[in-house]
C-alpha cells in the first residue's frame, strides 16, 4: 500500500515538474517571439525613417521638388546663417552685430554669472557660520537646563520643596527696606 502511494506521489511530482518545465519553456518562447517582433518593428520604423530622409536628399540632388518638402529650404537657410557667422556678422533682429560685440556680451554674461556665484557662496558661508553658532548656543542652553534639572531633583534641595506663603512680617520688612 505504501509503495503504491509513494509511486503515485512520485508520478504526481514528475508530472508537476514536467508541467513547470513546459510552462517555463512556453514563457521563454513567448518572450523570444515578443522580443523578435519588437526588433522587427524597430527595424521597420528605422527603415521608413531612413527612406524618407533619403527621398528628400535624392529630390534635392536631382532637382525634383515635391510640394510640402521644406526641409531643403530649411537646410539652405541654415547654411546661409552659418556662412554669415563665419564671415564675422551675426544677424540679430534684422541687424548685423559683429562677432567681437557678441563675444563681449558673452564675456559680460559670464562675469555676471561668476559674481552671482561668488555672492551665493559667500552667503552660504555666512549661513553655515550662523548655523554653527546656533548649534553651540542650543547645546549650551540644553546643558544649562540639564544642570538645573539635576540640581532641582537632587534630594535635600530646599528649592525643590519651596512653599510660597505670605509672611506675616512682609509689610514691616518692606517698609524697612524703603527707609534705607
Reduced to 3 states (helix: H, G, I; strand: E, B; else coil), residue 92 is: strand
86 vs 48, more confident: 48
Phi and psi angles of residue 112, each rounded to the nearest 5 degrees, phi first? -65, -40
Q: Is the pTM of this model over 0.95?
A: no
Alpha carbon 70 to its chain centroid, in Å, reads: 39
Residues 61-73: pLDDT tens digits? Answer: 776 555 455 777 8
Give the confidence band of 173 by pLDDT, cuts at 50, 70, 90.
Answer: very low
> What are the boundaries of each domain within the chain?
1-87
Give the DSSP letter of residue 154: S
For residue 25, the surrounding DSSP H or E stretch is helix 2-62
Which cell goes with 54?
533619403
- Strand 89-92 with 95-98, pairing: antiparallel
**Each residue's pLDDT tens digit, 92-141:** 554 555 777 888 888 999 999 999 989 989 999 999 999 999 999 999 99
Note the pLDDT tens digit of each residue in 118-128: 998 999 999 99
pLDDT band at 175, cuts 50/70/90? very low
**In the prediction, which pLDDT does 162 show?**
47
Amino acid at each position: 500500500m505504501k509503495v503504491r502511494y509513494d509511486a503515485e506521489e512520485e508520478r504526481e511530482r514528475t508530472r508537476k515538474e514536467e508541467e513547470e518545465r513546459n510552462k517555463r519553456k512556453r514563457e521563454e518562447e513567448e518572450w523570444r517571439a515578443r522580443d523578435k517582433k519588437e526588433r522587427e518593428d524597430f527595424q521597420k520604423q528605422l527603415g521608413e525613417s531612413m527612406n524618407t530622409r533619403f527621398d528628400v536628399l535624392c529630390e534635392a540632388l536631382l532637382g525634383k521638388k515635391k510640394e510640402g518638402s521644406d526641409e531643403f529650404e530649411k537646410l539652405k537657410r541654415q547654411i546661409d546663417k552659418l556662412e554669415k557667422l563665419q564671415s564675422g556678422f551675426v544677424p540679430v533682429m534684422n541687424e548685423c552685430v559683429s562677432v567681437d560685440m557678441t563675444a563681449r556680451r558673452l564675456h559680460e554674461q559670464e562675469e555676471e554669472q561668476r559674481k552671482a556665484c561668488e555672492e551665493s557662496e559667500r552667503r552660504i558661508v555666512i549661513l553655515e557660520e550662523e548655523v554653527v553658532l546656533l548649534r553651540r548656543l542650543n547645546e549650551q542652553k540644553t546643558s544649562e537646563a540639564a544642570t538645573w534639572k539635576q540640581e532641582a531633583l537632587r534630594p535635600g534641595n530646599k528649592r525643590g520643596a519651596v512653599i510660597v506663603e505670605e509672611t506675616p512680617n512682609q509689610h514691616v520688612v518692606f517698609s524697612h527696606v524703603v527707609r534705607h
